[in-house]
Structure 1
Amino acid sequence: MTALPTAAPTRPAGRLAPTSGPFTGAVAAEWTKLWSVRSTWWTVLAGALTMAATAAQLAIYAVNDNTDDDPTVNPGIVGAGEIVTGSLELTQYVVLALGLFAITSEYATGTIRTTLRCTPSRGRVLLAKAVVVGAATFLVGLLLGGIGAAAARPVLGEWGRAPLGATARDVVASAAYLALVGVLALGLAAALRGAVLTLTVLLALLMIVPLSLQEPGIAVLTRIADAFPGVAGNHFLTGDTEPYPAAVGLLLLAGWTAAALALGRWAMARRDA
């Protein structure tokens, strides 16, 4: 007898073939979680207000320095992009909350268990969060850079300039810096789990320890401070050539970010949710 051809198995109605891999799905889930909570939008608003206020204040300082009676502090014409990068010294501490709370809030509420049940690979979870936090903080950085330049330029008046190319470069550099700092915060938060402890460590790494090392004016200590993420990022933003090129500053900051993620991955693998 001739065997009858068998029909190909049919997929149940309403079930579509998967069109993306598990990592893409994890990224989509993390993106949805990040932008579906009000704290994210409040953070963006707080960052915008902080950037606008800080940029305007720095612009006022630049005008005052140009119009006082002491020529030794006269900065001359100041670019709006320079004001934007200078404003990050304060604004970054608002924006890095996006990276910090992306995981500490889940540990605080216990929802990290649900996340790990949906995506059992802890490395995949952390990497997906890093992609989302990096992309989100970069986009927010572009927005804040534009706000800072718009706030600073009219205040600077005759002492300011805002060439499109240079300003755009400073805004993009600022966004890149914020993205790396945001992911750095995520990695540390994955390892430390607590928001307050993570913020304390970030303040120490980005500001307190480098300033303490630079204060005595000892060359060896200053060189050590130059390797810290906040100082390296500042060299990148200002385009310094000493003590190393701006590109090296970016690489140092990226190295700190990668190390923080590795520490977070190690901690997540060793401890229960």
Structure 2
Amino acid sequence: MSIDFWINVGVLAGIYGIFTLGLQLNAGFTGLLNFGQAGFMAIGAYTVGILVVDRGWSLWLALPAGIVLAVLAGLFVGIASLRLRSDHFAIATIAFAEIVRYTLQNAAFSGGNQGVLGFDAEWRAVSDWMLPWLATIGLGSYTQLPLFIVVWLVFIVLLLMLRALQATPWGRVLRGIREDEDATAALGKDVFAYKLQSLALAAALAAVAGFFVALNVTYLYPTVFDPTFTFFGYALLVLGGFASYGGVALGSVLFWILLEGTRLIETSLSAGQQASLRFVIVGLFLLLISRLRPQGLLGNVNEMKVRP
């Protein structure tokens, strides 16, 4: 495979990494089984696309608007369902994500199945500005490299910010909620408010990931945001480790190298059978990791508790 292929794999790994940082905050540090992250991502991405194409907004102004709308959606979902048990909350968030997806698939404002196209002109201008600089070091022919660089820079900045935030009293309260919600409430902490903040922050991270998904695919359509996106995110947590932001980076890179690298396997199978074989290999690898190191590659077994 060409270098372009692996650059595209790196872009996917970075996008899923940003997306999974929010799941790590929820599941790894707060004990919230949030399965609606793809819904928040879709809201962020479609807000950007619609504002740019239909309203004439600048791409860079539409991004914060998408983040704000995703956060508001997170607050709405949280207020409606955070008092449920964790398994019921998980079901509620899946339902929310599917409501968002089917709404976008059928609504006129989102273009339905025809999607949204033509929102990335300003990004292409930035990319074209970066390519001559990359050409000075012999990398100017790789058109996806600017997106790769920006995605990973954003991922690293967000990771460092979350690690710093986790070391604050706020982050320690989240750990307390995960370990023993009743004891944390007995200490005078507003558990519901902290959970709501965790969910809203995860929604903001999903919106940022959605923005980069939009730039990567250059065409927004509802099936991009199916529940598989969230399930892949949890696969990264299993691989990298719960309650480890570094594990998100490692898990994302390894997962996508394994998933896309298996395309290189030469067999006599049909294209559909080959695709199925790739997922079988990845699934077996995840099962092996779960059996041999259930806390993940960089996780701590003591950090895995999720309150029922």
Normalising by the residue count of structure 1, what TM-score does the alignment of the two structures yield? 0.36
The answer to which structure, 1 or 2, has the higher relative contact order (CA under 8 A, 6+ apart) is: 2
The structure number with the bigger radius of gyration is: 1
